[in-house]
A and B are shown apart, each in its own frame.
Chain A
């Protein structure tokens, strides 16, 4: 009893450690807070530079520019579409391939697995892949977001190991009732794999939502650019011309670029921030499965 109490006592170390952890949380959240307050900063104050803690005067002007900008809103739409279709196609395709490969009596299984593993060890890389996309007609094509991201070895391995944990008796009884392999997969196996499907979908969705690089390499026309690629152009290349014109028309010269930048960043991040608290345990679970396998 005495021992227990001694252990429970909070010492100097616990206090310092606790403060350190709170500091870590602060440093983690502060960048997002910074974007948030600056996106709401009123234009006449934003000209003077960014604010660190609170907006000098609250204003929705920057958001009004962002939401009235057809280009950016179209980019938002493209991103939403690629996230939706990209994720569904990725999960379905990878799961179907994985189900076939999870059967130990599959003829050619060893060969298939080796064939897949080699792609992990060696790859063509940027230039040959780029040439392949152009030859396949995927250059400047919406499908370049979907098809090359259809499959992933890593996710396939996660699916395979999960499918193996589903009791054979479940599948057997469905087979006795005359179900085909596809029937078993879609009616028995997938409905019993919701946890792993959620995890892989979320990782895929986050990838599609956040990726800007595919758009930089493969997309030429403005109307196929995802929002993140536009943001890259706005922030890193500082090309705001297409927004500035509209902002000028809407607000005259008093609207500075900076708060529009922050408002666009906020719009691009809000979906992640909103869903994050609910989805984070699935994301963590995904890493755990991956860590055990890898």
Chain B
């Protein structure tokens, strides 16, 4: 038995030699950093060898839990994620539903193609446009003065109170079309016979949309919603990093940015690793809960 397996293994040496470099890569680039999370419990200094720093227990955890700036970053992360979840989650669904009602195939294709485009534009570019629009003499100021909302120019991106909304709206502008793809695909998979039958029964457009389209894509909606809830501690770093500045930092500093600022800007490696560690644990728990919820709902896990 064992001998047979060894013989197979030898016969498979080529296949094994394809897989093993991948395993080594994962070991180096995923497992070693995981293992190095241990510096959260040390006073790590970059000058010393990796594991020779003194252990300090939960000191850094106590430090960040009593740091107001940490709690501020939690508030900002949850604030931005909640806006995205509550106001933003439905937008791609509505877009997909409305797009599905377009009768002309050519118009539908064109709208689809165009609406995906901004997803592929870098945040440096898109953020640059936003910064210009929000600044002095920018499009937003022209609009708000023209519509009489403000009577003089506002530097929107320097006022912290606008920041969450700036991230929300710029994200909607950039990602709505792309986020709708999954729903568009799900809608395309619905059996046309269902619509024909409903039509014969005299269902109107709204009834068909509600009873057939939405009911059919409900599993997709459920899974994406669960995933969105599970990702609530994350933020779009590329976006926030581009739009943040010293003036709006108190509303802009998400957990990711806090870790970056504490670790790479201030050089407090152990401290920010402690934050990372705690966040990874919570994120893992959220993911496992999401998987559990998805199994309960649809009988199928996410992974």
Interface set of A (CB-CB < 8 Å, partner B): 3, 7-8, 10, 13-14, 17-18, 20-22, 24-25, 27-29, 31-32, 34-35, 49-50, 52, 93-94, 96-97, 99-101, 103, 105-108, 112, 115-132, 134-136, 147-148, 150-151, 156, 180-182, 185, 206, 209-213, 216-217, 228, 231-232, 235-236, 258, 261, 265, 268-269, 272, 276-277, 280, 283-284, 287-288, 291, 294
Contact = CB atoms under 8 A, between A and B. Distances in A.
Given A265-B128, A284-B116, A127 B263 contact: yes
Given A123-B33, A265-B125, A206 B120 contact: yes
A127 B42 CA distance: 14
A4 to B, nearest CB: 10
Interface stretch (B67-75, B81-89, B129-137, B158-166): B129-137
Interface in B171-189: 173, 176-177, 181-182, 185
Given A50-B132, A106-B12, A287-B185, 12 more contacts: A25-B111, A28-B115, A29-B114, A34-B133, A50-B138, A103-B12, A107-B5, A122-B280, A131-B50, A151-B26, A210-B124, A268-B125
B181 A125 contact: no
Interface string B4-23: 01001100101110110111
B297 interface: no
B39 interface: yes
B45 to A, nearest CB: 11
A31 B119 CA distance: 12
Contact of B15 (A3, A25, A103, A119): A103
Contacts of A112: 19, 22-23
B122 A236 contact: no
Interface string B196-212: 00010000010000000
B144 interface: no
A27 B284 CA distance: 37
Given A123-B34, A128-B39, A232-B124, A24 B115 contact: yes
Nearest to B39: A128
B118 interface: yes
A24 B203 CA distance: 29
Interface residues of B, number: 89
Interface string B250-271: 0000001001100110000100
A21 B33 contact: no
B78 interface: no
A180 B17 CA distance: 12
A53 to B, nearest CB: 11
A217 B102 contact: no
Contacts, number: 260
Given A18-B107, A126-B260, A127-B276, A213 B36 contact: no
Given A210-B120, A228-B124, A127 B259 contact: yes
B273 A236 contact: no
Interface string B271-286: 0110010011000100
A211 B116 CA distance: 18
B12 A269 contact: no
A97 B177 contact: no
A13 B101 contact: yes
A25 B16 contact: no
B238 interface: yes
Contact of A100 (B18, B177, B273, B284): B18
A243 to B, nearest CB: 14
A207 B272 CA distance: 27
B190 interface: no
A221 B56 CA distance: 36
Contacts of B147: none
B230 to A, nearest CB: 11
Contact of B284 (A49, A122, A268, A276): A122
